[in-house]
């Protein structure tokens, strides 16, 4: 597996170097600032900042930023999640210095011009409205809100048109000054590069700002608070969208490996139990899958499907029967071995991409505060036993921890 090393700039910003054989290099800035760090009155500000960083700096127009990366055959993008914001570029390795300079300029010197701000805020509002027209997105958003009531984890990452409306450029600038800080940030280099040169480039473009910072706080999830059991919306759609969720423990819990294997047994891929039972044997749904998602102090296991509303009751009974089976009977040795091989193989194949390496090291550094190696993940999955899997299924798949969200035809 690839050897990664951790370094720190003079101002405390952490740098992860992941050299490997490739024609390209990926560079990313990961900031421990996401939607759950926001006060309610500023809901969506992290996502809006992400958009605004592409709108220029005092020395670069938006088109200059775009051409500098895309003009070299590269691509760059960003995302905002509940607990982080990331900006990254992927391009031929000889252009690494330019990529770091540009992303550092965006990160440190975003202009947030008034005219661009007004336009981009409307773009984000239209993005929110676009997702509100997608029934699967509505079902998923309502499910997460139901699993984490009265907590920022349950709020949409993009905020709402009402929360975005009063925001101003000055509000965004102040928020960035208190969140986009060296000790809250991890820079990751992955691909073909000289390690000494990469550290020198990072120090040159990112090492200047020295600001003391406390870890960003968020309201912990009250695991004793019961989730909302059921929520339903009606829309002009042909299918019923179903989303079932169970609240779980957080990412630092060692049971996460067993939970990941349980997820794969139930709903990852065409060989999974839910896919085989609901689609292949009964024809109840074209696509059904599950997903395990971990946050710092909690998580969620979700099952999603689109189906004929008249068959919703039968689908729920079939899903419940599969969940009961995995709680009550241990997974056989052959199925367990096959599932673990699927997870490990999928993980190894994904790490052939330099961008996957970058995302892995950036996200795990923010979650654990240390280097987590791919081998550590592989060993964790490989060590899961049938007893471990059954125990975690009994812990997670409890009726009192469950929510059901549907979007039904109007």
Indicate which residues carry an active-site annotation: 50
The Cα–Cα gap between 401 and 227 comes to: 6
Asked if residue 46 lies in contact with residue 101, where contact means CB atoms within 8 angstroms, the answer is no
Q: Give the integer Cα–Cα distance in Å for 243 and 259.
A: 18
Q: Which of 233, 244, 184 is nearest to 34 (CA)?
A: 184
| Residues 260, 254: Cα–Cα separation, whole Å | 11
Residue matched to tokens 């208190």: 178
Per residue in 83-111, is it b (16+ CB within 10 Å) or e — as a string?
bbbbbbbbbbbebbbbbbbbbbbbbeebb
Q: At what angle do helices 256-267 and 386-396 cross, to 10 degrees?
A: 90
CA dihedral of residues 122, 126, 127, 129 (deg, nearest 10): 140
For residue 20, give the nearest of 200, 188, 201 by alpha carbon.
188
Scanning 29-168, the segments in alpha helix (DSSP H) are 45-52, 62-70, 96-109, 114-132, 135-147, 161-164
Alpha helices in 207-310 (DSSP H): 256-267, 273-274
Q: Tell me if 357 sits within 8 A of 227, measured CB to CB.
A: no
Put the strands of the sheet holding 24-31 in their side by side order: 5-8, 14-19, 185-191, 24-31, 85-92, 75-80
Rg (CA), the chain: 22
């Amino acid at each position: 597996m690839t050897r990664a090393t951790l370094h720190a700039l003079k101002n405390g910003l952490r740098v992860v170097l992941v050299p490997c054989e490739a024609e390209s290099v990926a560079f990313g800035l990961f900031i421990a600032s996401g939607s759950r760090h926001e006060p309610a009155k500023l809901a969506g500000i992290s996502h809006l900042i992400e958009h605004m960083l592409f709108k220029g700096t005092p020395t670069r127009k938006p088109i200059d930023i775009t051409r500098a990366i895309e003009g070299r055959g590269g691509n760059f993008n960003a995302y905002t999640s509940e607990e982080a914001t990331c900006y990254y570029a992927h391009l031929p390795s000889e252009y690494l210095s330019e990529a770091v300079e540009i992303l550092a300029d965006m990160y440190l010197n975003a202009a947030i011009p008034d005219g661009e701000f007004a336009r981009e805020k409307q773009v984000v509002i239209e993005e929110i409205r676009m997702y509100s027209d997608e029934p699967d997105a509505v079902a998923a958003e309502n499910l997460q809100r139901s699993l984490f009531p009265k907590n920022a984890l349950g709020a949409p990452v993009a905020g709402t048109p009402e929360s975005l409306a009063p925001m101003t450029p000055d509000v965004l600038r102040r928020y960035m000054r208190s969140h986009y800080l060296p000790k809250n940030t991890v820079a990751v280099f992955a691909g073909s590069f000289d390690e000494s040169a990469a550290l020198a480039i990072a120090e040159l473009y990112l090492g200047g700002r020295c600001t003391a910072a406390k870890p960003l706080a968020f309201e912990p999830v009250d695991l004793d608070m019961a989730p909302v059991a059921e929520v339903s919306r009606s829309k002009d759609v042909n299918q019923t969208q179903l989303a079932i969720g169970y609240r779980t423990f957080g990412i630092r819990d060692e049971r996460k490996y067993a939970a990941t294997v349980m997820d794969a047994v139930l709903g990852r891929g065409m060989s999974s139990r839910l896919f085989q039972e609901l689609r292949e044997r009964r024809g109840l749904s074209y696509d059904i899958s599950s997903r395990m998602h971990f946050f710092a102090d909690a998580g969620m296991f979700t099952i999603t499907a689109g189906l004929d509303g008249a068959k919703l009751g039968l689908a729920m009974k079939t899903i419940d029967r599969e969940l009961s089976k995995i709680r009550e009977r241990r997974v056989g040795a052959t199925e367990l071995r096959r599932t673990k091989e699927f997870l490990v193989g999928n993980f190894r194949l994904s790490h052939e991409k330099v961008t996957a390496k970058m995302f892995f090291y950036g996200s795990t550094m923010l979650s654990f505060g240390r280097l987590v190696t791919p081998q550590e993940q592989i060993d964790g999955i490989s060590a899961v036993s049938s007893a471990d899997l059954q125990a975690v299924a009994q812990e997670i798949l409890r009726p009192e921890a469950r929510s059901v969200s549907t979007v039904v035809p109007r």
